[in-house]
Amino acid sequence: MNKRKMGLALSLALTAGTILGACGKEDEKETTGEKPETETPATEEAFTVAMVTDVGGVDDKSFNQSAWEGLQAFGSETGLSEGKEGYSYLQSQSDADYETNLNNLARQGYDLVFGIGFLMQDAVNTVASQQTGSNFAIIDAVVEQPNVASVLFKEQEAAYLAGIAAALTSESNKIGFIGGMEIPVIERFEAGFLAGVKAVKPDIKVDVQYAGAFDKAELGQTIASKMYSSGADVIFHAAGGTGNGLFKEARDLKKKDPSKNYWAIGVDSDQTAEGIVDIGGTEHNVIITSALKRVDNAVKDLSAKAAKGEFPGGQASTYGLVEEGVGLAPINDAVAAKADIEAKVEEFKAKIVSGEITVPEFRKDVK
């Protein structure tokens, strides 16, 4: 018997005993004229929620970290504390840890367990079919199980706005895109970014390369180095921890030659803090903006629904600009075209929200 069923049975037994005892006491009160005692209501067991990170880790400054911040926000708003009686996480060192970690949290009795990232799709599917009494959620993928809620995002919409910012910032008309792995979620980033670039500068050149990993910062730096040396002056990454290498390369190059622009665009969360470089005692920032993917909002929203008994098991929920699930971080004040970028971003954002523009999800659909 799980903890909730046991608690229900105990509550029913206590309630029956309380009713019988109260009847006898009421009779006594009527004969003595004493005021009946006030019953103390039974306390409801707190909702608990946890998550399993992918290999990027909970401090990846990207979507794992954003998901954890969402759980922390949910905990803060509902009065939960970090730990087994509130909210928690397990970090995966490799993909071999996914099933083990998901099983571990389910067996600990958490009411809802999140698997963060597309790479956890098979593990969530397997564990959910075994742990049918537990509820799960998967970010960036669809798992067709009655006890799994799937969460997707319109990454292409945020990337489209990032593409506009990249194109209007570039002076060399050469731009780079670094993807983590060639999976649907990253293809949506690529397709949206390319479409956004072409919307304002149709003839611009975009160098697209994939690292094949989300946790290889050194590989991200190598790719970025080649792109910058080939003339690119703006690079956008959708590569998790691999993208940290892009930021390091941009900072290093800017420090060596402050007269040149080596711009980068972040992803998932506002990565502005990763672009700071000190040059002669003055701080510069190499990050133009970030394509926001509000995993934190989605995690908090789904946790709140589950806590209210409205867990959307067997369903897929998609968060886009309309749902405030994606967006664009503020534009760097140091960008010369800041005003033009902001105006264009608002113009195209309104067209996407109204349905006038449908941003492509696949590279084959980019015109």
For residues 289 and 264, what is the distance between their CA atoms, to the nearest angstrom? 8
Helix (H) or strand (E) holding 47: none
pLDDT, tens digit, 9 for 90 and up, residues 63-122: 899 999 999 999 999 999 999 999 999 999 999 999 999 999 999 999 999 999 999 999
pLDDT score, position 60? 83
**Cβ within 8 Å of residue 333, ≥6 positions away:** none
pLDDT score, position 61? 80
pLDDT in tens, the chain (367 residues): 444 433 433 343 334 344 334 444 444 434 334 444 444 343 457 899 999 999 888 988 888 999 999 999 999 999 999 999 999 999 999 999 999 999 999 999 999 999 999 999 999 999 999 999 999 999 999 999 999 999 999 999 999 999 999 999 999 999 999 999 999 999 999 999 999 999 999 999 999 999 999 989 999 999 999 999 999 999 999 999 999 999 999 999 999 999 999 999 999 999 999 999 999 999 999 999 999 999 999 999 999 999 999 999 999 999 999 998 999 999 999 999 999 999 999 999 999 999 999 999 999 999 7
Helix runs in the chain, H state only: 3-32, 63-78, 98-107, 121-130, 155-169, 184-200, 217-229, 244-256, 295-307, 338-354
Which residue type does 338 have?
K
What fold is seen in the domain 155-292+337-365? Rossmann fold (3.40.50)
CB distance 328 to 158 below 8 Å: yes
φ, ψ at 91 (rounded to 5°):
-100, 135
| Token pair listed for 236 | 């956008």
Reduced to 3 states (helix: H, G, I; strand: E, B; else coil), residue 364 is helix
CB distance 176 to 232 below 8 Å: yes
Strand partners, 284: 277
CA atoms within 13 A on the CB side of 252: 12
pTM: 0.82
pLDDT score, position 48? 97
Give the residue extent of every domain in the chain. Answer: 49-153+295-319, 155-292+337-365
Strand partners, 148: 136
pLDDT score, position 333? 97
pLDDT score, position 44? 57
| Token pair listed for 83 | 């730990």
The CATH code for residues 49-153+295-319 is 3.40.50.2300
Q: What is the DSSP letter of 287?
A: E
Write the DSSP assignment of 177-241 as a string of letters. EEESSSSHHHHHHHHHHHHHHHHH-TT-EEEEEE-S-SS-HHHHHHHHHHHHHTT--EEEEE-GG
CB distance 243 to 62 below 8 Å: yes
Measured CA to CA in angstroms, residue 269 lies from 50, 237, 265 at distances of: 20, 12, 11
CB distance 361 to 187 below 8 Å: yes
Helix (H) or strand (E) holding 283: strand 282-285
CB distance 118 to 185 below 8 Å: yes
Q: What is the DSSP letter of 37?
A: P
